Structure 1
Amino acid sequence: MDLGRAPAGGRDGERTEGTSEGTAGTEFRLLGPVEIRDGLTGRDIVPPGSKQRALLSAFVIHAGQLLSVDRLTEELWGDRPPSNAANALQAHVARLRRLLPAPGGGHEWISTLPAGYLLTLGPATTDVQRFHRLSAKGRAALASDPGYAAELLRRALSLWRGPALQDSGKGPICTTEADRLEENRLTTLETLYEASLRCAQHGEITGELEKLTADHPLRERFYDLLMLALYRGGRQAEALGVYERARRRLMDALGIEPGPALRGRMEAILNHAPHLSAPAPHSHAPARAVALTEALALGGEIARLRRRIDELGLEQEALVRRFDAMIARLPGGT
């Protein structure tokens, strides 16, 4: 199976806190074509047009942060904004508001403020949050339980449905975030294959690593992992051939030799270093079950605290509006 961009296949196994009504269960998805999973109806909402997708993406990327009119204008139109950019942006925001799921519970998705606009997630989530959470858990488990780490990292990668922020324009917000997320995906892939090697699964991953070295010819870590997998499979000559292939590609593209890590791997293979041997398979099933239970409980507490913080923020905004309205009605008020 190609783990580089696994197909979407249901939930990642984590418990979803809250009810299924209103915004609870709603998820904004950026890891592929931009869409919204309506927590109430279960349907997927796809914004029509690249500008609507870019606008939604910018809001989700900076959820809880004020985005100025100028910054959003640049994201949608670059250096060629329309003459009535503020009105055009306002129209796009209005269309996006109508597209979003019914918030319920007094929640407002997009707030209009004097200096710009702000998206409040409330109890809604994003697939990016889930990806980062699962990736972090996988990295944390790598040393003590590589099998469990690989399971978590596969779940994280299964959230990807295509290139991040696909078809969302080329504005600076979306472009920067797409590049950052792709780097996160590749780093997670590297950790996954390291976990697989620690589980003595070298024979199962050589084909996938061969493809990754072809797709990312300047990424040395994939060559390093492939060399180790081949060596452990009794294919020393092929492992050394991978080093030479990496060296040629780096010299042709960048004019540089491989870094110290890859050179060190090559020398270790030449010398049959003992530390290159595959580890004995072992099981950490009991520890895995305890860790998963504790992680789910902690995740629930964090979700409840996040919802309460969002509720307090909304209450504060409502009180500030009431206060401003009262002041305005006083004699001499503005």
Structure 2
Amino acid sequence: MGLSAPIVNAPMGGAAGGRLAAAVSRAGGLGMIGMGSSATAAALAAELPHVAGLERPFGIGLVHWVAVNHPDLLDLALSAGPALLSVSFGDDWSWVRRAHDAGVAVAAQIADVAEARRAADAGADVVVARGAEGGGHGRPRMATLPLLAEVLDSVDVPVLAAGGIASARGLAAVLAAGAAGAWLGTAFTACPEALTSAAARYELLAAPGDATTTTRAFDVALQYPWPATLPERVLRNEFVDRYDGREDAIGADARAALADAVEAGDYRVAPVNAGQGVGMLREPRSAADVIDALCAGAEQLLRRWAEDLR
């Protein structure tokens, strides 16, 4: 795809809009527009002007069950001419043929080796090995490095590493292991180009690396139809402390309080998705600055490691 940086921004619903995608692509990576649980064709259409006329490749990421419920969403995504399409968290691969017929390459997020093989057999051009450290929704089955190493030995397509990578050391580590690049989410959430609110950005920058947890409390309370096998990694807060593992106790009052908190941006109660790399966020930096720092640092480390091995 002619990238100068081995970085793809994860298509995070609610954070990775068209502005972030364009900024990442202009900086040499592959910018992805993310459509999450509440995605519609209208929501995607509102983000596409940011990449219209972009002279760099970009991608679009969808959630499988959302795309099934909104068939026009996939239609619009393909008609936008992305270089890469990701449709995550489903077992039906018929969309791969549609993407290839439209001349669009396909990426599939996977959580174990069996999934990686199924994705490659279904025609995925790129496999994303998403470790349990990653923020947002996913199957928390294996840590990133063990998953990456096993997948690299199991499939013949390029593999991107995802989950907990938010520093030059993390990027260098997965490249040294053999990844074609890194699929980064949390590292971009504090960028001014992201859709992240100012209040959520503050929480992300203040959080240490051990501040996250996986939970289904928010999905249950907000009545999102995410399956139980796909919890989300978020910053721990008062709502998580009260209801994680006690989702049956979430009643109408709790749902109303959560809805009010989401509306008000009160993140003592409302969710903030974050991976375990969140502790490495130090200040709000542009997407270009994030990419430059990660790539320059990783290059130095890889050279040093190569010299040490001689």
Same fold (TM over 0.5): no
Specify which structure has the higher proportion of helix: 1
TM-score bracket for this pair, using the shorter chain length: under 0.3
- Radius of gyration: which is bigger? 1
TM-score (norm 1): 0.24
- The structure with the greater share of residues assigned to strand is 2
Q: TM-score, normalised by structure 2?
A: 0.26
